Amino acid sequence: MPELPEVETTRRGIAPYLQGREIREVIVRERRLRTPVPADLEDALVGRQVGEPGRRAKYLTIPVGTRTLLWHLGMSGSLRIARLGDAPKKHDHVDLVVDDGAILRYHDPRRFGFVDWLRGDVGDDPRLARLGPEPLSPDFDGERLYRLSRGRRLAVKPFLMDNAVVVGVGNIYAAEALFLAGIDPRRPAGRIARERYARLSEAVREVLAAAITQGGTTLRDFVSGVGEPGYFAQRLNVYGRAGEPCRRCGGELRGVTLGQRASVFCPRCQT
């Protein structure tokens, strides 16, 4: 599934091709996504100007005229920039064609993503209203993690992946941040000290910022908005490396399951 860095990379990739442009045509080849493509999408978008694309957690927000599109990429979705004459591929479900010939093209083999209208302001839409702060914003820090974790027996890794605690820290980046912070992902969240949560919040910022800079993590399906793969996977310390040597101490990395998700950690470096 595309995580926060992949979605942010997509936003940055598509923004220069869309912002300030007028939508000339909308082509919907398949309406049966996770939720059906709105019946009025074509009529409501044609002739309208596109504002600056935004992001909230793993959702993209694209202002068009007086309304805003809410786009989620699901498990295997991607938004790419194509040009007039570029033949659509299988699973290319939606095209937004702007006035200079650029096409925002939505590709989704599994159809778990969706495009819909935002209901009210970003903070008021029921799909977004209960989300925690953005991990790169001033509202997220170690003190928040410490406060929300008190009395929690839940392991720290699924705690960190809870979108009510902080948005967008998915499986890959939670594993990598816990490694950088030296914290065993199995430890109960309520038994981690304030100082260690301060380090963990900084590790989250460090890992996500690095991933965004390098274009996200390509594992299977993800490419950026301009069709380029991400390269952060080349720097993963623990994710997907169970049984391999730790890059820091040389010990064997161990794989476990936490919250029904695979996790890898170093028993020596993470305590």
* Under 8 Å between Cβ of 46 and 96: no
**Which residues define the annotated binding site?**
91, 110, 152
Q: What is the 3-state secondary structure (H, E, C) of the chain?
A: CCCHHHHHHHHHHHHHHHCCCEEEEEEECCCCCCCCCCCCHHHHHCCCEECCCEEECCEEEEEECCEEEEEECCCCCEEEEEECCCCCCCCEEEEEEECCCEEEEEECCCCCCEEEECCCCCCCCCCCCCCCCCCCCCCCCHHHHHHHHCCCCCEHHHHHCCCCCCCCCCHHHHHHHHHHHCCCCCCEHHHCCHHHHHHHHHHHHHHHHHHHHCCCCCCCCCCCCCCCCCCHHHHCCCCCCCCCECCCCCCECEEEEECCEEEEECCCCCC
Under the phi-then-psi rule, with left for phi > 0, alpha for psi from -120 to 50, and beta for the rest, what region is 211? Answer: alpha
**Which residues define the annotated binding site for DNA?**
91, 110, 152
Task: From the options 1.10.40.30, 3.40.50.300, 3.40.50.970, 1.10.8.50, give the CATH code of 142-265.
Answer: 1.10.8.50
* Residue 87: count of CB within 10 angstroms of its CB: 6
Alpha carbon distance 126, 253 (integer Å): 40
* Under 8 Å between Cβ of 206 and 229: no
Which tokens go with 143?
């003190």
List active site positions.
Answer: 2-3, 58, 261
- Supply the pLDDT for residue 223: 46
Give the CATH architecture of domain 4-117. Answer: Alpha-Beta Barrel (3.20)
- Supply the pLDDT for residue 110: 96
Q: Give yes or no on whether 4-117 and 142-265 have one common fold.
A: no
* Under 8 Å between Cβ of 20 and 226: no
The pTM (predicted TM-score) of the whole model is 0.86
The contacts of residue 243 (CB under 8 Å, 6+ apart) are: 252, 253, 255
Alpha carbon distance 166, 148 (integer Å): 11
Domain residues of the chain, as ranges? 4-117, 142-265
The amino acid at residue 104 is L
Backbone angles phi, psi at 201, to 5 degrees: -65, -40
pLDDT values of the chain reduced to their tens digit, one per residue, 271 residues: 678 988 999 999 999 999 999 999 999 999 999 999 999 999 999 999 999 999 999 999 999 999 999 999 999 999 999 999 999 999 999 999 999 999 999 999 999 999 999 988 888 899 999 999 999 999 999 999 999 999 999 999 999 999 999 999 999 999 999 999 999 999 999 999 999 999 999 999 999 999 888 875 543 443 445 555 444 555 799 999 999 999 999 999 999 999 899 999 999 999 9
Backbone angles phi, psi at 248, to 5 degrees: -95, -50
Which tokens go with 11?
């936003």
